[in-house]
Amino acid sequence: MRTRTTGYLIAFIGLCLLLTTVAGRAALPLKVDGQELPSLAPMLEEITPAVVNIATEGRIQLRQNPLFNDPFFRHFFDFPDQPIERKTQSLGSGVIVDAKRGLVLTNNHVIANAVEITVTLRDGRHLNAEVIGTDPETDVAVIRIPSEDLKDIKTSDSDALRVGDFVVAIGNPFGLGQTVTSGIVSALGRSGLGIEGIEDFIQTDASINPGNSGGALVNLRGELVGINTAIFSQSGGNIGIGFAIPINLALDIMEQLLETGEVRRGYLGVYAQDLDADLAEAFGLKKQTGAVISKIIQDSPAEKAGLKPGDIVLKVDNKPVRSSSDVKNHVGLLRIGEEVKFEILRDGRRKTIEVKIAAPDGDTGRPVAVNQRLQGMTLGELESNHPLYGQVEGVVIAVVERGSPAWRSGLRAGDVITSVNHTQVKSVKEFLDEVNGKDETLLLRIVRGNTAAFFVIK
């Protein structure tokens, strides 16, 4: 009986304390037992000036029947003039990583097709930005703003991250303005998601929503560990699975863009596929891990080094391979001239083979069209790593300088030119023979993704 009475007394005292706490909620103590309450506020006050909002205004090509651009067809059918572009607007985020040079890291998809980029700082300043370079494969972009009174974020080694580390995401979700969320690193090295061409994501449950793209993922020391880029969601909103580009990768891409204005990826000549249960059994393997080399290009660096179809890739540069995407991602991040070490399994025996990354065949520098109408455009051959390889024949537009005549005409990097003035072109040489030194209007047929259209360059 005494025990029950004592229990009631303790419960009554607890209730009184709870009511007192609710009544005095507006005056919560800053310290408990002499210890300050934990807070991220001091760290955030230090770094949030380096996270910016990005607003873009751009133009995209409208899908249009190629016949509408044919002068012969238009002569006999009275078609009204139709706009071939429409304006777009988007909001995103960015991170100042070099205050002295005014360099801002963001996502390629935040500024894609933009003709005007406005960066808003936390102090309210609105600054016009110029594009230094973009890399759609990794979704990294670098822009520059005036470098007066800027603050940048110190970076950390993203390779040192561990699952379970606390992180904070800062960005501009839904255009609401700078917002902060927190969580943990829930996975590392995420790939095979189909979000980008090359994937090596940090996965986090810190809320990342539309507009957070390009924002900062920082550790509890306020050091930049990643650039927020995407979410996994069926509804379009956050469900606790967000992805960020590791800062080590983003900085490497940034340096290449600063050096050359583009990322030049090397050539290895290897095709690999996932090692599923059936393949593992057919190859006599107990574990379903690794990737199978399915094809080696003749005379490629891979063939010269000794790699063969049927080799099981276990590690690349001492990093375990779980799927074919691991091979693609790792090799895709290497520069021309670097060496990559393959640990393979062949006929039940482990073997290590080193392969030197080479420039694509015939790549001795990007050819430039000598034609005033195509100023600012550089070209490349249609290579095996292009999505349209094997489907069309033509010349790839490698780079189009923003604001150039080619840009204003609607041409974009990645487009494949299949004909000039109704003459089919299958190589850079054939294209240059058709356009160089000629002072006339050009009619180009362009293949872009799943669509094709004619562009008149005056």
Domains parsed from the chain with CATH numbers: 45-144 (2.40.10.10), 162-252 (2.40.10.10), 270-356 (2.30.42.10), 372-457 (2.30.42.10)
pLDDT for res 50: 93
Cα separation, 361 vs 299, in Å, equals 10
Give the single-character DSSP code of 359. P
Q: Among 270, 299, 260, which residue's Cα sits nearest to residue 384? A: 270
Please write the tens of the pLDDT for every residue from 32-54. Answer: 666 677 788 889 999 999 999 99
Average pLDDT of span 313-341: 84
pLDDT for res 83: 52
- Catalytic positions: 109, 139, 213
CA Rg value for the chain: 27
Tokens standing for residue 416: 């494949």
Q: Within 13 Å, how many C-alpha atoms sit on residue 54's CB side?
A: 38
Please write the tens of the pLDDT for every residue from 405-450. Answer: 777 777 887 888 999 888 898 888 888 888 876 667 788 888 887 7
Report residue 88's pLDDT band, with 50, 70 and 90 as the boundaries: low
pTM (2 decimals)?
0.64
Contact 442, 421 (CB under 8 A): yes
Read off the amino acid at residue 73: F
pLDDT for res 388: 77
Report residue 26's pLDDT band, with 50, 70 and 90 as the boundaries: very low
Return the higher-pLDDT residue of 60 and 189.
189
Of the ranges 33-37, 111-115, 132-136, which one carries the lowest mean pLDDT score? 33-37
pLDDT for res 407: 75
* Angle at the Cα of 235 from the Cα atoms of 231 and 241, rounded to 5 degrees: 30
Contact 53, 177 (CB under 8 A): yes
